[in-house]
Amino acid sequence: MNIPICKNSKNHKDMKTKAIIHAIVLGFSAVMLASCINGNPGNGGKPAAQQNAPAAAASDNAAAASTSQNASQQGTAVGANIYPFSANPVVNVYLETSGSMNGYVNGGTSVFQQVVKEYLSGINNGNFAQSVNYFYINNKITPKGTDLTNYITRLTPSSFAAAGGGATTDIGGLFKAILEKTDNNTISIFISDCIISPGSNSNTAAYANGQMTDVRNAIIGYINQYQDLACLVYQFDSGFNGRYFDFQNKPHKVNMQRPFYIWVFGHTYNIAKLKLEVVPDQDFKVAPIRNQWMIFNTRLDYLQKDGVFYGLMLPNNMKNGKYTHVDRTVLRSIQKGPDGNFRFSFGANMGLAATLMGDSYIEDTNNYNKIVNKATRELFYGEIEKDYNQRSPYSHSFRVDSDSPFQKGTFTLAFIPKVPSWAYECTDVDDHVFNGDNDNKTYGLKYIFDGVFSGYNNAGHANILTEFNFEIK
């Protein structure tokens, strides 16, 4: 999605990012303080911010009054997923050293090595980490000290082969091993080509599904122990010149552009600070981020200082809909428009989520479910757009459409982040030969993402990051 760029947009963006970081800090501080006062960190009811969203602003003063009232209530909320954490975490970096990774290294000249060095240098120089420790990982974890140059820059195919393991990689096992060494005071970074490697004698479908289950179990195991978990993944492209092992463990000589991934796990606050302040997206100069995804399980209500405000739009045009606006969350008499649809609209301040996850992801209706009278869960049918009105207290406007009359009662729109579409589009199903259509795809990639998603949404639990609750009379 193309976003219009205004003059002085960089300064404006820098100020916005600092404001969001400040909001995160204040939000976590307020919730942690409330947890300590109540003597019960990690347990609590529904945040007050969710119960008292501000009215649609008729004026700036009205919006400010709503914000002030909501913020004062937010300070009393106890974060359901907030555990004590260190603001200066230990950072542990795990470079996967299977045989299929050798083509990415060439004495520090490959884009792969330069991107990894650039990212880790940003962390080293960011006055953020208590310490940064380097490891190789495959069938075992090998400590490699704290010298970044020795760790990544000086790697060549021969030295990498000496440090590595076999051609196949147990991705699920690596997730488990890494997350077992992660806690709320640790950030773990995993660097890999993320190829699911069944091997020559495996039932490939069963193996891939088993890998998905292992990834899911690793996520569940961590969340059960520490509750709060954020997962961030970057996809980059780099020249690859070496032996590539396909899904049946057959080597091929390959010299082409291939994708690789940097996964980052840790406490939501630390991952947010790392992404927005320590190494923001614009600091990747060597190569652009091709795709990225972030998922976490701390509600946005807790994550930002003033909660997630939302309120009905005034029904003053056909785009918003024809209905009677009772108050900020109550409406009635929704009428059919000339296109045959019933609709209503509301605004919400999803700015923090958009900054962490990207506007296109926030505006993807697949990430939302509508829940009617707390009984049915359906796909969201409507539209989400960025709100460019400078006087609006909202970052986005939502239009909810229905081809039949809305039921009377409660209506909830829940933000439940799904696997991004790019993860499926970048999944290869047969990498015996690269033919142009699958050059930039990764064999079995979707199983890793599905496993992560399932870990956050397990046993009937939905990883709802925020809800918009309305009453239709």
Across-strand partners of 370? 378, 413
Task: Give the per-residue pLDDT at 417.
Answer: 95
| High-pLDDT (> 70) share of the chain, % | 81
Token look-up 């009984």 returns: 375
* Arithmetic mean of pLDDT, 220-244: 96
Task: Give the per-residue pLDDT at 84.
Answer: 81
The answer on pLDDT for 188 being more than 90 is yes
Q: What are phi and psi of 267, to 5 degrees?
A: -65, 140
Bridge-based pairing of strands 466-472 and 291-296 is: unpaired
The answer on pLDDT for 384 being more than 90 is yes
Q: What does the block give as tokens for 338?
A: 């000339």
How far is the C-alpha of 325 from the C-alpha of 335, rounded, in Å? 12
Bridge-based pairing of strands 90-96 and 186-192 is: parallel
- pLDDT per residue as tens digits for the range 414-446: 999 999 999 999 999 999 999 999 999 999 999
Across-strand partners of 325? 331
Report the range of poorest mean pLDDT among 57-66, 143-152, 273-282. 57-66
The answer on pLDDT for 167 being more than 90 is no
Task: Give the per-residue pLDDT at 245.
Answer: 87
The answer on pLDDT for 211 being more than 70 is yes
Tell me the average pLDDT of the chain: 83
How far is the C-alpha of 448 from the C-alpha of 212, rounded, in Å? 6
The answer on pLDDT for 63 being more than 60 is no
The answer on pLDDT for 345 being more than 90 is yes
* Arithmetic mean of pLDDT, 364-392: 90
Would the CA dihedral through 289, 91, 466, 9 be positive or negative? negative
What single letter denotes the amino acid at residue 386?
K
Count Cβ atoms within 10 A of the Cβ of residue 138 and give its class: 0-12 exposed, 13-18 middle, 19 or more buried. Answer: buried
Spacing of C-alpha 237 from chain mean position: 20
Task: Give the per-residue pLDDT at 203.
Answer: 84
* Arithmetic mean of pLDDT, 340-350: 95
Q: What does the block give as tokens for 193?
A: 């080509």
Domain locations along the chain: 9-80+302-416+463-472, 90-298+420-456
- pLDDT per residue as tens digits for the range 5-26: 333 334 444 555 556 666 665 5
pTM of the model: 0.85
Q: What does the block give as tokens for 434?
A: 């690269």
The answer on pLDDT for 57 being more than 70 is no
381: closest CA among 391, 373, 369? 369
* Arithmetic mean of pLDDT, 249-269: 94
Which of residues 38 and 471 earns the better pLDDT score? Answer: 471
| High-pLDDT (> 90) share of the chain, % | 65
Q: What are phi and psi of 219, to 5 degrees?
A: -65, -45
* Arithmetic mean of pLDDT, 297-315: 88
Bridge-based pairing of strands 230-245 and 291-296 is: antiparallel
Q: Binning pLDDT at 50, 70 and 90, where does residue 455 land? A: very high
* Arithmetic mean of pLDDT, 291-297: 97
Q: Binning pLDDT at 50, 70 and 90, where does residue 405 land? A: very high
209: closest CA among 195, 193, 198? 198
The beta strand positions in 362-453, using DSSP E, are 368-372, 376-379, 382-386, 396-402, 409-415, 427-428, 442-443
* Arithmetic mean of pLDDT, 361-372: 95
Which of residues 206 and 17 earns the better pLDDT score? Answer: 206
Q: What are phi and psi of 379, to 5 degrees?
A: -70, 150
Note whether 311 and 346 are within 8 A (CB).
Answer: yes
| Cα-based distances in Å from 38 to 32, 41, 236, 238 | 10, 8, 45, 51
Across-strand partners of 274? none
How far is the C-alpha of 82 from the C-alpha of 229, rounded, in Å? 10
Q: Binning pLDDT at 50, 70 and 90, where does residue 199 land? A: confident
Contacts of 241 (CB under 8 A, 6+ apart): 103, 106, 254, 255
Task: Give the per-residue pLDDT at 68.
Answer: 32
How far is the C-alpha of 283 from the C-alpha of 288, rounded, in Å? 10
Task: Give the per-residue pLDDT at 329.
Answer: 97
Which of residues 258 and 166 earns the better pLDDT score? Answer: 258
- pLDDT per residue as tens digits for the range 111-136: 999 999 999 999 999 999 999 999 99
Task: Give the per-residue pLDDT at 365.
Answer: 96
344: closest CA among 369, 318, 362, 366? 318
The percent of the chain in helix, strand and coil, each rounded to the nearest 5, is 35, 25, 40
How far is the C-alpha of 160 from the C-alpha of 157, rounded, in Å? 5
